[in-house]
Chains A and B, each alone.
Chain A
């Protein structure tokens, strides 16, 4: 592909440790100009840490970098940018209150007045090169996530980047958007940019990468160079990657399936929908707030034992839907019924007592109090209720005792029930949440991105819990931006777009294209 030139970036034995983990373990890796290098690995494999090092957010504990053959240290984000490395982070890092152009001009020389004309010219050139159309004066907060990402790519290229790093860029895109992104990456590659494409999806790595490197548990476990990759079929690559990741160990079969997004698709349980629905939303709308997508007369029904998946690009009203169901957000109009009882005005506690639980995607943001103990977090939604409280007085002994029991039952890895929750790993925090939300008395469960940010093992565990609760007869709603996840879990898949339900289809496991179209707002 590229003449056997010096790599744009070389990593030489780079190691980065955090308290308790080695996030990057002696990684030696080259990235070449004019090549899309897919960096593949599950969550927690150390991809983001590596990006942080290249972007100057952190410094390695050991090892060194070479840029175009010369040793270099990347001490700060500024340093990284100055050396021609542009980074698009997984989470949007733009100032919502500033316009597109203002965001792009951030970081200019402070003593010079803002050069609007020059900036507009650069913006025009880059937008044309990428083939995107965005209003440069629109406030970023008003743009869709896909457009925000395009702005981030433009920013990353703003100062003549020779290396472009994209951290999980497909997570907030429609299938169509992913195609567009692929086109953009190929254009950049043709322009001689070294593109580093980080993903946890094998299919995307194969589709876009000229070269694939595989990370696992902080180590580089193998790579497929372009010479070989060109000649291999998707199936062969899949086998190779699985062999690299898991060795000969067959017990990782589940995880491999999850990695591929190929759990058996199309669950299609025989759900009996002739009876009355357990949960019903009728024409529900919510009030819009700055930067949020509200619901617009949304109706939906769930029957016992069924799993309904909500597909859609992030930011299309999923958050409001989950919060309305949980009782955390008032509706502007419409009704909500549980077993035909109107519960529209009931709060979180009352609905919980009717058996409705909500497993939020913001595990640390709202799901838990990280400074409080595991035990307290396990009872966070029961505060003040017997038997753990007697006339308002906390019975700490009982709370700790019951916590110890749950820690054992749900295999929560924690030094003690009194350990502050924030010290636990993401997977264990999710276990605490699931333990709290999926108690015996629960009959309806709302999951918001249940496997977001989890590694393969914990992803499988969480999906297992969802299947179990459905098998127990719970009505389950799973909101996810990962279509594969919904194909694996759901009986029916509904698609959200701009606060509406565009349509709902039986999950046969084969409607990817149709659902993808619906995610852009096209009718079913």
Chain B
């Protein structure tokens, strides 16, 4: 047990928390934008996976992590554009289309992986970290929290940015109106379709970036189904956070801790089944729900297509 308390272990663990939590943070923040606007984006798992594949493939081919990240975000947004087309434009059931997109992204990326990478199994080297001056010199915490890929800082910076956007910008008002009373937004001369489409595309880009981070930084390679439900956890984080970005961050950290602990325990050769650790965050979320369950405050128009003139 002593090994648990060494500073190197702690540093590694905290570092792992951030690495594991970031994709969840991005997915959760992205999903939050969609949900605010009244779209339940079940396809986010597929968007992450598309981002993970595209990010890795481009980073590998172009020898540029940054191009990879951009490709990941674009791929996520591309899948999201189908969601927008079918669910917002055509008013189709958001759950069916979301599942279809997830299945499609799973199938397509697994196929592409099979034909491109399965034999040679290429991988990217360890992604370079960027140390924040001064902060990274803090013992233990410095190299755990302030020595990361810049995407991590971007992701964390998005939390206050979104909080500001939701509260103090026209975009934020539009999103909230689109989810609460789309007819009111329409009457104000703002297109509900465009607002929701923008929200869904942003979700796709966030999720895609999160996926790209998983493959490019987290794993250094692409494996079929590698997102392993991260998108679904993102959905849950967004629903629990009820429109508050900071809560998504808390939730992502909670799940990040459990994922990092799982890895750390495996490496450390401890005899606690990792599944128990994996269960913990889900268990805690359920516990929170059971104890604090009230009427969930979700946007009233969540999941419903908007047809002008129908109420």
Contacts and interface: CB of A to CB of B under 8 A. Distances in A.
B226 to A, nearest CB: 36
A155 interface: yes
Interface stretch (B4-12, B40-48, B126-134, B178-186): B178-186
Given A109-B170, A114-B168, A114-B169, A93 B189 contact: no
B170 A105 contact: yes
A317 B161 CA distance: 42
A197 B171 CA distance: 33
B67 interface: no
Given A98-B173, A114-B168, A87 B181 contact: no
Contacts of B189: 76-78, 80-82, 107
Nearest to A113: B169
A102 B173 contact: yes
24 contacts: A57-B309, A58-B308, A58-B309, A77-B188, A81-B189, A93-B181, A93-B183, A93-B187, A94-B181, A94-B184, A95-B180, A95-B184, A95-B185, A97-B176, A97-B180, A98-B180, A102-B173, A105-B170, A106-B170, A106-B174, A106-B185, A107-B185, A113-B169, A155-B188
B168 A95 contact: no
A409 interface: no
Contact of A114 (B173, B183, B185, B311): B173
A89 B311 CA distance: 13
Contacts of A110: 169-171, 174
Contacts of B170: 105-106, 108-110, 112-114
A76 B194 CA distance: 13
Those 7 A-B pairs whose CB atoms lie nearest each other, nearest first: A107-B188, A78-B189, A106-B188, A81-B189, A93-B187, A93-B184, A110-B170
A52 B184 contact: no
A98 B187 contact: no
Contacts of B188: 77, 81, 103, 106-107, 155
A142 interface: no
B190 interface: yes
A96 B309 contact: no
Contacts of A103: 184, 188
B278 interface: no
A91 interface: yes
A445 to B, nearest CB: 27
B175 to A, nearest CB: 10
B123 interface: no
B187 A95 contact: no
Interface in B99-116: none
Q: Specify which of A52, A77, A89 lies most central, judged by the most chain B CB atoms within 10 Å of its CB.
A: A77
Interface string A351-369: 0000000000000000000
A106 B177 contact: yes
B191 interface: yes
For chain A, give the interface size range.
20 to 34
A8 B215 CA distance: 62
Contacts of A95: 176-177, 180-181, 184-185
Contacts of A76: 189, 191
Interface string A53-81: 00101100000000000000000111011
Interface string B149-177: 00000000000000000001111011011
A112 B169 CA distance: 8
What does DSSP make chain A's interface, helix, strand, loop or mixed? loop
Given A77-B187, A82-B189, A114-B169, A98 B174 contact: no
Contacts of A107: 174, 185, 188-190
A87 B184 CA distance: 12
A105 B185 CA distance: 11
A112 B174 CA distance: 13
Interface string B290-311: 0000000000000000001101
Nearest to A106: B188
Nearest to B171: A110
Given A106-B188, A107-B189, A57 B308 contact: yes
Contacts of A81: 188-189
Contact of B187 (A89, A102, A112): A89
A98 B176 contact: yes
A58 B183 CA distance: 14
Contacts of B181: 93-96
A87 B187 CA distance: 8
B180 A106 contact: no
A94 B190 CA distance: 13
A112 B184 CA distance: 21
Interface string B190-211: 1100000000000000000000
A147 to B, nearest CB: 16
Contacts of A94: 181, 184
Contacts of B309: 52, 57-58
Nearest to A109: B170
A55 B186 CA distance: 10
B33 to A, nearest CB: 14
Given A93-B183, A96-B180, A105 B173 contact: yes
A52 B310 CA distance: 12
Contacts of B186: 57, 77, 93
A77 B174 CA distance: 15
Contacts of B190: 78, 106-107
Contacts of B176: 95, 97-98
Nearest to A289: B295
A123 to B, nearest CB: 15
Q: Specify which of B168, B170, B181, B191 lies most central, judged by the most chain A CB atoms within 10 Å of its CB.
A: B170
B177 A98 contact: yes
B178 to A, nearest CB: 9
B195 to A, nearest CB: 9
Contact of A106 (B168, B173, B191, B308): B173
A113 B172 CA distance: 11
Q: Specify which of A80, A87, A95, A98 lies most central, judged by the most chain B CB atoms within 10 Å of its CB.
A: A95
A112 B190 CA distance: 15
B242 to A, nearest CB: 12
A342 B10 CA distance: 67
A367 to B, nearest CB: 15
A52 B309 CA distance: 8
Contacts of A82: 189
Contacts of B180: 95-98
Interface in A95-128: 95-98, 102-103, 105-110, 112-114
A112 B173 CA distance: 13
Contacts of B187: 55, 77, 87, 89, 93
A93 B309 CA distance: 12
Q: Specify which of B171, B174, B176, B187 lies most central, judged by the most chain A CB atoms within 10 Å of its CB.
A: B187
A15 B173 CA distance: 36
Contacts of A93: 181, 183-184, 186-187
B287 to A, nearest CB: 26
Contacts of A102: 173
Contacts of A98: 173, 176-177, 180
Contacts of B184: 93-95, 103, 106
A96 B299 CA distance: 11
A96 B176 CA distance: 10
A78 B173 contact: no
A139 to B, nearest CB: 11
A58 B180 CA distance: 22
Interface in A22-61: 52, 55, 57-58
A102 B181 CA distance: 13
